[in-house]
Structure 1
């Protein structure tokens, strides 16, 4: 018997470390060559600003609609399911009335309808301006928040929802 067909000195660990002969069973017999990497030309300023401007157009359109169709008149918008079923105000209750008041420039009424929503509108405005400035410079906007901030926001929403349903927090109710 030749030495190639019969090995006495090989241990199982050496056999396991040795790569199998031929292509792996799950790999195709022929793999196409990777596509060449092509350099992209930098996008024009108008192309970079298209997405932030489009988002602003949608938001302004939504505010214009809510500003035109009054949520204070019954029948225009569906009622909050939680409020309808349980009588409990959710954190979003009054958000449409708040948006209506903001669209009409009445900040006091907006805060009275849903203060948390007004803060959200302000945060959106700041983030949108930051996004637009960075996009005009050709930079990406990447906002990453640690989980503790998301949990903190959830706790604030929960506290807001509980307090606005208690007698002493009726000023937060719409």
Structure 2
């Protein structure tokens, strides 16, 4: 009688790609974001003629959730947080979340950790949509004029 005992095969993780390969995509995203931000820093959105008018604003006369976003980024590049919040508070929050996400992604790649997978889920998505809708409506009402760019 022969014994056919199975010998466990060690499951080793595949080798990690080089640090340069792991950082290529997050650094490209950071570089693209920096280039776009640099352009907005140099080409002032407060001067007419440099950027197109918001089509939602043109058609409805209402500020959309993104109106004032370029002015907010321009103000942030000048270190003017109060001005940026005045131009588009939601845009400033989005910029902070984007920057934080890119830094988190790059730091995970440096440490060889799995890529972060942000998930809002149904409740989070509905809450985000509610915040955007409330911001849009409020900034177009007399009581929310402080949110208008």
Range of TM-score over shorter length: 0.7 to 0.9
Higher relative CO (Cα under 8 Å, sequence separation at least 6) belongs to: 2
- For 2:19 and 2:147, the matched residues in 1 are separated by 43
Larger Rg: 1
Give ranges in structure 1 of 5+ residues lacking alignment. 1-38
More helix by share: 2
Query: In structure 2, how many angstroms separate the alpha carbons of the residues matched to 1:146 and 1:82?
Result: 28
Map 1:1-174; keep pairs closer than 5 Å.
41-138=15-112, 139-174=114-149
**Over residues 22-61 of structure 1, what are the superposed CA-to-partner deviations in whole Å (9 max), with x where a residue is unaligned?**
xxxxxxxxxxxxxxxxx95420011101111111100010
Q: Provide, for residues 94-113 of structure 1, a one-character-per-residue CA deviation record: whole Å limited to 9, x for no partner.
A: 00100111111111100000
Alpha-carbon offset, residue 75 of structure 1: 0.5
TM-score when normalising by structure 2: 0.87
User: Structure 2: any 5+ residue segments left out of the alignment?
Assistant: 1-12
User: 1:140 and 1:94 mapped to 2: Cα distance?
Assistant: 32
Aligned Cα root-mean-square deviation (Å): 1.2
Query: Number of matched residues?
Result: 136
**Cα distance in 2 between the residues matched to 1:136 and 1:145:** 25
